Amino acid sequence: MSEFWHGRRVTVTGGAGFLGRHLAARLQEQGADVFIPRRRDYDLTYPGTARRLLRDARPALVIHAAAVVGGIGANRAHPGRFFYENAMMGVQLIEECRLAGVSKVVILGTICSYPKFAPVPFREEELWNGYPEETNAPYGLAKKMLLAQAQAYRQEYGLNSIFLMPVNLYGPHDNFDLETSHVIPALIRKCLSGQDEIEVWGSGTPTREFLYVEDAAEAIALAAERYDGADPVNVGSGQEISIRDLVARIARLTGFTGRFRWDASKPDGQPRRRLDTTRAHQLFGFQAKTTLEDGLRKTIEWYRATLS
C-alpha cells in the first residue's frame, strides 16, 4: 500500500461508471478520500458545474474518467452528442482545476484519437499524423482536444496534468445494453440469450486490443502516483485479436453452439488496433496482468450471476 494515497482527497469524475467504480474502489483501498460526483448532481456539460464540484469536493487530485462512450452503432447515431459532451466536460473541468489550484489532474483519453491508418503498434508519437477512423472521429477528436489543452495549460500556467489513452476495456459492470455497448459485452449477452443465430457486424477481419478493467484501474493509479510528464501515454495489454477469433473464443467460453451471421454491410471500423505500451512500463511501471482468456471468463461469470 502506497503512502501517496493515504488521506489524499481525490475526485473521480465518472466514478459511478464502468471504469470509474473499479478505480474508485482501488483508491479507497489504498487509503484515499474519494469523492464521486453523480451526473444528476453535477452535470459537467453545464457551465459553472465544474466550479461548484471543486468547491464542494476540495480535491488535491482530480481523475477525469467521465465520458459519453459507446460502440460503432452509438458513435454513428450520436456523433454530435459524443463530440459536444466529451469536449465540454473536459474543457470546463480542466479550466476550473487550474483556477482552483488543484495539484494534479489525470485525464483519460482514448485510442480512438489515433489516425485511422496509424502504423501498428500505435506509438504515442503518431497521434497527430492523420485523421481518426470516421465512425468514432468526433469522440476521438473531442478527447484529443483535452490533450492539447492539458499541454497548453502546463506550458502557460504550470498545471500538472497527465494524459492517458486506455485501449478498449472490458470486465464486470461493463455496459451490456445492445444499443450502446462495445463488442465484448454485446457478444457475451447475445451468446447467453438462448438464440440459435447471432448477427455480428462487419467482416470479422479487423483486430482489436482489450484490457481488463482491473488492470486499467491499476495503471491509472500508478500513473497518478508516479508520472508527471506532458507526453500522452498508451495504456493497454499490447496484444491484439481479430474480431472473428474473439467471437469464436466467447462462443466457446459461454457454451454457445449456434450460428453466427456476419453482416458485411455494417462498418468494420479501424482495420487494426494494437498499442505500443513501452512508455507506460518505463514511466510508471505498468504491465497488464490479466490474460484475455481469464478476463473473459471472469466477465462471463459476473454477467451470468446478474441473470440469476
Q: What is the pLDDT of residues 117-139, one digit of tens each?
A: 999 999 999 999 999 999 899 99
Calpha distance 227→229 (Å, rounded): 6
Instruction: Render pLDDT for 36-47 as a digit per residue (tens, 0 to 9).
Output: 999 999 999 999
Does 308 map to a domain?
A: no
Question: Taking residues 290-300, what's their average pLDDT?
Answer: 98
Calpha distance 50→105 (Å, rounded): 13
Instruction: Give the DSSP letter string of 20-60.
Output: HHHHHHHHHHTT-EEE---TTT--TTSTTHHHHHHHHH--S
Calpha distance 227→97 (Å, rounded): 18
Could you tell me the CATH number of the domain that includes residue 109? 3.40.50.720
Structure confidence at residue 179 as a pLDDT band (50, 70, 90): confident
The count of structural domains within the chain is 1
Does 113 map to a domain?
A: yes
pLDDT of residue 1: 59
C-alpha cell of 240?
Answer: 491484439
Structure confidence at residue 247 as a pLDDT band (50, 70, 90): very high
Distances (CA, A) of 306 to 25, 133, 173, 255, 300: 20, 34, 10, 17, 10
Instruction: Give the DSSP letter string of 230-285.
Output: SS-EEES-S--EEHHHHHHHHHHHHT--SEEEEETTS---SS---B--HHHHHHH-
Structure confidence at residue 71 as a pLDDT band (50, 70, 90): confident
Instruction: Render pLDDT for 13-23 as a digit per residue (tens, 0 to 9).
Output: 999 999 999 99
Does 122 map to a domain?
A: yes
Residue 166's domain comprises 3-173+210-238+273-289
User: Which of 139, 153, 212, 303 is the catalytic position?
Assistant: 139
Does 233 map to a domain?
A: yes
139 is catalytic: yes
How many helices, marked H, and strands, marked E, lie in the chain?
Answer: 10, 12
